[in-house]
Amino acid sequence: MTPNTHSSLSDSLAALAPGDRRLIRSLFIAALAALALGLLLGLWVALARAGWARPDLPETGYRLLTLHGVAVFFDWLTLAQAGLLLVLAAQERKAPLSLAWMGWAGLVVMLVAFVLHLLGTVWGNPLLYDGSPELVAEASQGALLFYSGYGALALGLVLLALPGLATLVKARKAGSGSWSALGFGAFAWAGLLLVSAIALANTFLPAILWAAGWGGMPADHATLWHLLFHNMHYLPLLGTMLAWYLLLPELTGARSIFGSGFSKLVFCLYLVFVPPTSLYHMFLEPGLDPMVLVLGSLLSLFIGVPTIAAFLVVMTSLEAHGRARGARGGLGWLKALDWSQTATHSLAAAVINLALGGVLAFVLIQEKLAGLLSDTFFVPGYFHFMTLGVVTLSLLTVAERIAPALGGRGGSVAWARYLPWLITLGLFLFGVAGVVAGSQGMPRRVLDASYEGLAPTSWVLLSWIIGIGALLMALGLGLMVARIGAAYLGFGPKALAAEQPQAALEELALKQGAWGASLAVALLLTLITAATWGAFALMRSLPVIAIGGAGH
Amino acid sequence: MSQDVLLLGLISAVWAVLALAYALVPMLNMPGSALIWGSGAGLFLGLALWVRRG
């Protein structure tokens, strides 16, 4: 929804140097490979929990879980976001990238990071993705490799962010002296990428020094990890909103009816709310001042404000444009969207998953519930809605959309439209069963949820449902990744010339009443209230023992 | 000063205030917070200045 989308995304990518296009293509190929690996490992873990697969040794299962987390949460998301940043920079600049060599260096460093993580996990003790030093024991060489993987990741993030930043600064200078909303959002987002690199170094440098024998055991690793993770929560959420802003004019021709200045303010809100909302991570620390609990609870309510604001801008603009083009009735503007495109289905599924994940997120950050739920399966039950159902689906949509412009294929196939809904169905089973299991106290990081027959019967049943959900998710996502990956490698049907979206009717759109998004947010707030009330009621009725810990 | 620079400056200012709060208010003491948000404040100030210079 930028004001300068007169040329399509394909035209912007065509204006890049051939090497720039190869760089973006390579980033997405590497990202898709990481996602495919992480997906297989995650499926194996879910099947093990359901009792349908048995890794040879418990350590093997935890190694799979560790690599699943690292491959998906760090490698896939970082590489795909780096690709998105360069696409956004290209869209703003409409000319070759600056410092592209640094992007190549960043890609190489990211691959090194992955190899280090792989070696460290296989050779040392499986530390899970937070790399707790308490689990290292005597295996310090493996831990050194694993921690160094995060060190390399920090360097890779810096190297990948700088070309985006430099290109955007040049775009601003070459243009009218100010960015489009999308350009500003991309620049601020790249700044947060750099802060995340600092947070990575801050968390893992003490661990690297300790594992190398040059320093003491890090005393605050868990807290530093929480800070890093807080950044890593916001980073892909802002990236997702930027992806939606990028895609919607491409798909629908609609532009923001709120103006560029307002959209910039919304993107700025993400950054403004990052530090204050981090306070709720302290809920897991013992002996907190009651004032901190109150303050943290109040501030945590702001965590969804920027995303809700961005959602309102996107959806209200979409509805207003739909009505300006003649859509009638409550949902006529939705029906009028181009449902022949896979991207429309993917983004619609992402919106639904955002609502489900958002409701559960607000339950999880309640001060009274955080300690009870943080080490239970409630957490993966909720965050897969966000990481897979929202962020991954949105990033994959961008990857699919730009594949032909990067020299790949990308022809439309009808069955691909069902994949986002198959993934969402799997997520729903996985998430709902996970949340129910978590509410009953089922731990998240165990491979045998039956506890050799000692666990409640419901845990076994819920683990089966989680396994079925994981199978459906893996099937849908695996097919989607295979299709997009094949397109990047030059296989599959050729893309036809993209149909130009209808021209924006901005003046007419401004005169339309568009309440759909506002009503959806009102419904969301009602659901959040109901879910929180329900969670408290459930907790009071169960003999759950708080196991606390430093989950997230 | 353009809106772009002003908003980047606003981010820097908010992060700096929060970094100070995390550093100076004992009950908010969360190891690493002041360093991360303080570094971020410096970074966004640097970015704002870079954009202003163009």
Q: What is the pLDDT of residue A542?
A: 59
What is the three-class DSSP state of A376? strand
| A92-142 pLDDT per residue, tens | 999 999 999 999 999 999 999 999 999 999 998 898 999 999 888 888 899
Regarding an ipTM greater than 0.90, the answer is: yes
Instruction: Give the pLDDT of residue A499.
Output: 59
Q: Stretch B33-50: mean pLDDT, rounded?
A: 95
The answer, yes or no, to whether residue A412 has pLDDT greater than 80, is no
pLDDT of residue A362: 82
Chosen for mutation from B17, B51, B53 (greatest number of chain A CBs closer than 10 Å) is B51
SS3 A80: helix
pLDDT at A6 over 70: no
pLDDT, average across residues B27-34: 82
- From chain B, the residues in CB contact with A202 under 8 A are 32, 35-36
Say if residue A250's pLDDT is above 80: yes
B6 touches chain A (CB under 8 A): no
Which tens digit of pLDDT belongs to each residue from A446-495? Answer: 888 888 888 899 999 999 999 999 999 999 999 999 999 999 999 888 77
Task: Identify the closest residue of chain A to B51 by CA–CA distance.
Answer: A169
Q: Which residue has the higher pLDDT, A37 or A455?
A: A37
| Whole-number pLDDT of residue A548 | 44
Q: Inter-chain contact B40–A198, Cβ cutoff 8 Å?
A: yes
Question: Distance of CA A423 to CAs A48, A250, A389, A470, B10, Å?
Answer: 20, 24, 7, 9, 39
* Look-up of token digits 């309102």: A312
* Residues in A lying within 8 Å of B, measured between beta carbons: 165, 169, 172-173, 177-179, 184, 187-188, 191, 194-195, 198-199, 202-203, 219-220, 223-224, 227, 231, 261, 264-265, 268, 271-272, 274-276, 278-279, 281-282, 289, 291-292
Contact A165 B15 (CB under 8 A): no
The answer to whether A113 touches A147, Cβ cutoff 8 Å, is: no
Mean pLDDT of chain A: 88
How far is CA A247 from each of CA A9, A244, A394, A431, A516, rounded to the nearest angstrom?
Answer: 9, 5, 9, 27, 20
Residue from A93, A176, A184, A298 to probe the interface with B (highest B Cβ count within 10 Å): A184
pLDDT at A353: 96
Residue A276 has pLDDT above 50, yes or no: yes
Inter-chain contacts counted by CB atoms under 8 A, chains A and B: 93
For residues A19 and A100, is the Cβ–Cβ distance under 8 A? yes
φ/ψ bin of B6: left (φ > 0), alpha (ψ from -120 to 50), beta (otherwise): alpha
pLDDT of residue A271 exceeding 90, the answer is yes
Q: Regarding predicted confidence, which is higher, A503 or B39?
A: B39
Distances in whole angstroms, Cα of residue B24 to Cα of each of A111, A275, A285, B20, B28: 40, 15, 19, 6, 8
B48 contact A CB<8A = no
b vs e for A215-251, b when ≥16 Cβ sit within 10 Å of the residue's Cβ? Answer: eeebeebbbbbbbbbbbbbbbbbbbbbbbbbbbbbbb
Q: Pick from B22, B25, B29, B33 the residue to mutate for testing the A interface (most A CBs within 10 Å).
A: B33
Percent of chain A with pLDDT over 70: 93
Better-predicted residue by pLDDT, A544 or A69: A69
Nearest to B40 among A195, A279, A289 (CB): A195
Residues of B in contact with A282 (CB under 8 A): 30
Contact assessment for residue A81 and residue A239, using Cβ atoms and an 8 Å cutoff: yes
Q: Which of A315, A312, A92, A317 is nearest to A189 (CA)?
A: A92
Q: Give me the pLDDT at residue A105, please.
A: 98
| pLDDT(B6) > 70 | yes
pLDDT class of A2 with cuts at 50, 70, 90: very low
In this structure, which amino acid lies at residue A488?
Answer: Y
Which DSSP state fits A386? I
Nearest-angstrom CA–CA distance, A225 and A231: 10
CA distance A396 to A164: 20
CB-based contacts of A188, cutoff 8 Å, min separation 6: A238, A267, A268, A270, A271, B7, B8, B11
Q: How confident is the model at residue A59 (pLDDT cuts 50, 70, 90)?
A: confident
pLDDT single digits (tens) A21-31? 999 999 999 99
pLDDT band at A1 (very low <50, low <70, confident <90, very high): very low
Which of A159, A189, A13 is closest to A96 using CA atoms?
A13
For chain A, what's the residue count? 552
Averaged over A389-409, what is the pLDDT? 94
Residues contacting residue A127 through CB under 8 Å, at least 6 positions apart: A66, A120, A121, A135, A136, A143, A146
Query: Model confidence at A3, in pLDDT bands (50, 70, 90)?
Result: very low
- Number of helical H runs and strand E runs in chain A: 20, 0
Answer for the pair A34, A74: CB distance below 8 angstroms, yes or no: no
The whole-angstrom distance between B46's CA and the closest CA on chain A is 10
In three state form, how does the secondary structure of A346-379 look? HHHHHHHHHHHHHHHHHHHCCHHHHHHHCCECHH
Burial grade of A6 (CB within 10 A; 0-12, 13-18, 19 or more): exposed
B4 and A172 within 8 Å at the Cβ level: the answer is: yes
A401-415, A425-439, A525-539, B30-44: the lowest-pLDDT one:
A525-539
Nearest-CA residue of chain A relative to B10?
A: A272
- Higher pLDDT among residues B29 and A340, named by residue: A340
Q: A275 vs B28: CB contact, 8 Å cut-off?
A: no
Chain B residues with beta carbon closer than 8 angstroms to that of A194: 43
CA of A191 to nearest chain B CA: how many angstroms apart? 7
Tell me the shortest Cα–Cα distance from A212 to chain B, in angstroms: 22
The three-state secondary structure class of A443 is strand
Convert the pLDDT of each residue in A303-358 to its tens digit.
788 888 888 888 888 888 888 888 888 888 889 899 999 999 999 999 999 999 98
| Partner-chain contact B7 A264, CB within 8 Å | yes
Alpha carbon of A455: minimum distance to chain B alpha carbons (Å): 36
Structure tokens at A446: 């165990």
Residues A66-103 have pLDDT tens digits of 999 999 999 999 999 999 999 999 999 999 999 999 99
Residues of chain A neighbouring B33 (CB-CB closer than 8 A): 227, 275, 278
Q: How far is B9 from chain A (nearest CA, A)?
A: 10
Give the Cα-Cα-Cα angle A481, A87, A10 (nearest 5 degrees): 85
Please tell me the pTM assigned to this model: 0.93
CA distance A311 to A308: 5
Q: How many CB atoms within 10 Å of residue A17?
A: 12
Is pLDDT above 60 for A207? yes
Mark out the alpha helices in A124-220 (DSSP H runs). Answer: 140-174, 181-211
Contact (CB<8Å) A227/B11: no
Contact B7 A179 (CB under 8 A): no
Contact B1/A at CB under 8 A: no
d(CA A126, CA A119): 11
- 3-state percent helix, strand, coil for chain B, nearest multiple of 5: 85, 0, 15
Query: Does A552 have pLDDT greater than 80?
Result: no
At A450, list the tokens: 């039956």
Q: Is the pLDDT of residue A248 over 60?
A: yes
Which amino acid is located at A201 in the chain?
A
> CA A466, CA A464: separation in Å to the nearest integer?
5
| Phi and psi based region of residue A128 (left: phi greater than 0; alpha: psi -120 to 50; beta: remaining) | left
- Whether the per-residue pLDDT at A154 is higher than 60: the answer is yes
User: Given this model, what pLDDT does residue A504 score?
Assistant: 61
| Greater model confidence, A230 or A144 | A144
Q: What is the mean pLDDT of residues A59-71?
A: 92
pLDDT at residue A297 tops 50: yes
Name the residue of chain B whose CA is nearest to A281's CA: B30
| Chain B residues touching A173 at Cβ < 8 A | 54
Give pLDDT, residue A7.
47
Residue A371, pLDDT score: 77
Is the CB of residue B30 less than 8 Å away from at least one CB of chain A? yes
Rounded to a whole number, what is the distance in Å from the CA of A190 to chain B's nearest CA? 10
Cβ-based neighbours of B26, under 8 Å, separated by 6 or more = none
Distance of alpha carbon A148 from alpha carbon A166, whole angstroms? 28
Mean local confidence (pLDDT), B1-11: 94
Task: Please choose, from the candidates A478, A301, A482, the residue with its C-alpha nearest in 3D space to the C-alpha of residue A388.
Answer: A478
Coil, helix or strand at residue A412: coil
For residue A376, list its beta bridge partners: A443
Using pLDDT thresholds of 50, 70 and 90, give the confidence band for residue A502. Answer: low
